[in-house]
Amino acid sequence: MRLVAIEHERCDEYDKTEYFVIPEGMPLEEVDDAVAMAQSKYIDALTKFKTSGNLPQCPPTNIGQVNDDSKTIGELKADLRAYGIKQTNHVRLEQEVAGTFEKHLGLLGFVKLSDYVGTDFVKTGVNWGHRHGQNLNY
């Protein structure tokens, strides 16, 4: 087994690194292709879900934007609370349908390092605070 680090970027900025175990003989080109395929399948699944029409419509959040004088402020607030519940359910369903990027990698033979080593895996972090202008070597 070999260890592969996948560095995630958003808007050309580093976001985080995840570690996976891959089969020993998997060539680097195949690793790159598998990661690109998993990303594509994950994004396709998210896009398909979002365009399926399942997203609930948000009522106006500003009382001044409401053109319906037949509702009281209490009723409008109730509508907003109901939307919040629908939105929470929508996000949960989206996660069930699309899965995760990790799930799509798993279908291609990748195993997250923390799953591979079991429950004895120790993870910790270091918070360096606001040390702007200091050259930290870590």
**Among 4-13, 29-38, 64-73, which is the least confidently predicted range?**
64-73
95-113 per-position pLDDT tens digit:
777 778 888 899 999 998 8
- How confident is residue 58, by pLDDT bands cut at 50, 70 and 90? low
- Residue 122 confidence (pLDDT) above 70: no
* Residues sharing a CB contact under 8 Å with residue 109, sequence separation 6 or more, in sequence order: 22, 23, 26, 34
C-alpha separations of 71 from 63, 74, 79, 129, 130 in Å: 11, 8, 10, 49, 49
* % of the chain surpassing 90 pLDDT: 17
Average pLDDT, the chain: 80
Q: Is the pTM of this model over 0.85?
A: no
- Residue 121 confidence (pLDDT) above 60: no
pLDDT of residue 35: 94
pLDDT higher at 49 or 3? 3
pLDDT higher at 20 or 95? 20
- Residue 115 confidence (pLDDT) above 90: no
pLDDT of residue 127: 79
pLDDT of residue 68: 66
Radius of gyration of the chain from Cα atoms? Answer: 22
